[in-house]
Amino acid sequence: MFKKKFLPVLLLGIASLGIVSCSDSDDSNDQPQNTEVDFTKGEYKQKVLVEDITSASCMVCPLASFTTEELAKSEYADKLIPVAIHDDYNIDYVKDPFVLPKVRDLVRVLKLNGYPFMSWNRNPSIQGQLFQNWLRQGKNDAGETQFFVDINLFKNFYTKYKLFNEGSPIGIKIESNLAATSGKVDVSLKFSQNISQELKYVVYLLEDGLEFKQLNSSPLYGNTTGKARWEENFVHDHVVRATNNFLGDVIASDQTKSSNEYKNTVNLSYELKDVSKASVVVAVLDSKGNVLNVQKAKANTTQDYEKK
């Protein structure tokens, strides 16, 4: 059990180092949300895509890794689908082996202004470092320092930004046939409303349990030095290993009617360490790039349409 007095991680660990994020020069994204169809209602379960833009050479990026780990233990685990998208922050420190071609296309669209950057359904009004406000520390009964995510603050966050909807008019079915270096993903979509708008879809192939060193100036993962250090054999989860298109492939408007089931096959090439630790994520976006719904399935399994 935690004692009642909690202190922000940033005040004790990060702010004392003068570091809140690894900075980037872009501004926030003011892209409007598509409101022509009510995407907050429908017969399918709605989930939220959490894209963690990270880098092995970013010393504060473990803050985001820790946050997704903690949320995965919470009551909201089945509502959130995290993915880790690696970029190179500073190759003079180390070259990140998990960077994919054209990742900068997504970085530019998100108007990333620092690392780590957590995008929530690519909502342009949510600042990428806002999640750091939820991080807390306290003492357990043994007097040991423990770090955690304040779930009440997370609740205030998702309520303010209306992340969790009553349902979704877009159902997502995923089937895959994946080997170590190539495979295919069958994407099927159903619509409980006549959307009749151009949509896009993104396919991510993820892999868990990838070990590679990580620069870390946070007080997390046992770093009590008060300064940056390398965490050797750091375990990277939810790592994007392949995608059809970071910005999404187009689904024509005449394919997004309730009378139609949209189907397409995506062929991917990649290099997996362990297929048993792989999974597939499919996100559906509106024409402006806002995520409308997302689903996940383990590699080589079928995730059928999930109704509420």
Q: Who wins on pLDDT, 68 or 36?
A: 68
pLDDT score of 24 = 55
CA atoms within 13 A on the CB side of 58: 24
pLDDT score of 124 = 93
Angle, alpha carbons 53-55-266 (nearest 5°): 55
pLDDT score of 23 = 62
Of 109-118, 136-145, 185-194, 269-278, the poorest mean pLDDT is in 136-145
- 0.85 exceeded by pTM: yes
- Residue range 4-29: average pLDDT? 45
pLDDT score of 142 = 78
Whose tokens are 């409007």? That residue is 32
pLDDT score of 145 = 81
Of 33-42, 97-106, 134-143, 220-229, the poorest mean pLDDT is in 33-42
The proportion of the chain whose per-residue pLDDT surpasses 70, expressed as a percent, equals: 88
CA 158 and chain centroid, separation: 15
Average pLDDT, the chain: 90
Is it the case that residue 17 has pLDDT exceeding 70?
no
Is it the case that residue 212 has pLDDT exceeding 80?
yes
pLDDT score of 138 = 87
Question: What CA–CA distance (Å, rounded) separates 274 from 180?
Answer: 7
pLDDT in tens, 73-127: 999 999 999 999 999 999 999 999 999 999 999 999 999 989 999 999 999 999 9
Is it the case that residue 14 has pLDDT exceeding 80?
no
- Three-class SS state of 107: helix
Instruction: Tell me which amino acid residue 75 is.
Output: E
Q: Nearest to residue 7, comparing CAs of 127, 133, 117, 156?
A: 133
Pairing of strands 48-54, 117-120: antiparallel
CB 200 within 8 A of CB 34: no
Is it the case that residue 160 has pLDDT exceeding 90?
yes
pLDDT score of 242 = 98
CB 284 within 8 A of CB 290: no
